[in-house]
Amino acid sequence: MGTNQNNLSSKEANPLTNLDEWEDDLLRRYPEPDSIATAKTTEEYRNYDEPARDTVKEFYRINHTYQTYEFVKEKRNNYLKFDKKEMPIWDAFQFLNQLVDDSDPDTDLDQFQHLLQTSEAIRRDGHPDWMVLVGLMHDMGKVLCLFDEPQWAVVGDTFPVGCAFSDKIVYPEFFKNNPDYSNPEYQTQYGIYKKGCGLRNVTMSWGHDEYVYQMLKDYIPEGGLYMLRYHSFYSWHREGQYEYLLDDKDREMLKWVQLFNPYDLYSKNPVPPDWNKLKSYYEDLVAKYLPATLKF
C-alpha cells in the first residue's frame, strides 16, 4: 500500500451522506442555464441552508490526502482486470441500485431512474444515440462502492497525478497532506509527463469516471469516451487548467465533455420515467453498442 488508507475508519473514509453529495457542491460552484432543469430552477437544486457543506470539505480533505500516484496505480491494477463479476447490462443496473440513498435532496428515485432521466434529457435535445447511451451508463462506475471502495476513491472531482496539482482544483490546500506533494519528481509543472503528451497518456486520480471509461472503451465513439472519462475533471473543462498537457485531440474533444455535464447535473426530476414506454428503445440502443454481458 502506498498510503495508510486502510487505517481510516468507515466515517473517515465515507464522510458524505450519499454519493451524489459532492455534486451538491458542483451546482453551487458551476451554475448552468435553466434549459435542462425542467423540474425547477437551477437555484432550487441542491438547496441547503448552509453555504458550505462540512461533509464535502472533509471528503476532499481525505481525497486529496490519499489520491497519490502509487494509490492510483494500485487501483488500476486491481480493478482494470475486470475479474470481479460478469453480468447482463440490465442486471448491472439492479446491482447499481443497491446504492440508493434516501438522503439525496433532489430525488427519491433509484439510480437507474436518474440515469434514465439523464439519457432522456439528452435524447429530447436530439443528440446522437451514442450520447444517449453515455447518459445511461455514465454512473455505472459507482459500483466500485459495492466492492468496498471508499467514497473518496469513487466520486469527486478528478485531476492528474504524477505532476503538480493545480490551484484551481477544489480545496487545493489539502494537497499539502498528500505524500506526492513532497516528491520533487511529481511537483514540477510536467512531472512525469511531457509537454503536449495528451490526456490519454496522463494518469488521473482514481474513481468511477476512469473505471467506466475502461469498461466501455471498445464500444462507444470517441466523443462519448471523453464524456465518460473526464466529466469530473472540472479543473480542465471548467477552469481551463492543464493546457500544457493537452494535444489537439483533447482540444477537439473538449466540446463533448462540456456538452454532457449539464445533463448529468440538472436532469433530475421528481416524475419517474415511464419504463414501459422506454424499454424497447433502450433495449435496442444497448444491443446496438454493447455486448450481452459486461465485466466488472
pLDDT, tens digit, for every residue of 218-270?
A: 999 999 999 999 999 999 999 999 999 999 999 999 999 999 998 987 777 76
For residue 200, what pLDDT is reported? 97
Residue 160: all three cell numbers together: 492528474
Distance in angstroms (rounded) separating the CA atoms of residues 3 and 133? 36
| Three-state secondary structure call for residue 163 | coil
For residue 267, what pLDDT is reported? 73
Distance in angstroms (rounded) separating the CA atoms of residues 227 and 260? 6
For residue 31, what pLDDT is reported? 66
Distance in angstroms (rounded) separating the CA atoms of residues 291 and 110? 24
Q: Is 233 exposed, middle or buried (0-12, 13-18, 19+ CB in 10 A)?
A: buried
Distance in angstroms (rounded) separating the CA atoms of residues 140 and 114? 12
For residue 53, what pLDDT is reported? 53
For residue 281, what pLDDT is reported? 97
Residue pLDDT tens, the chain, 296 long: 444 555 677 767 888 877 777 776 777 777 665 555 554 444 444 333 343 457 889 999 999 999 999 999 999 999 999 999 999 999 999 888 887 543 333 444 577 888 899 999 999 999 999 999 999 999 999 999 999 999 999 999 999 999 999 999 999 999 999 999 999 999 999 999 999 999 999 999 999 999 999 999 999 999 999 999 999 999 999 999 999 999 999 999 999 999 999 898 777 776 778 999 999 999 999 999 999 999 99
Q: What is the DSSP letter of 274?
A: -
Distance in angstroms (rounded) separating the CA atoms of residues 274 and 286? 18
| Closest among 13, 1, 224, 239 to 122, alpha carbons compared | 224
Q: How many CB atoms lie within 10 A of CB 222?
A: 13
User: What is the residue type of 42?
Assistant: T
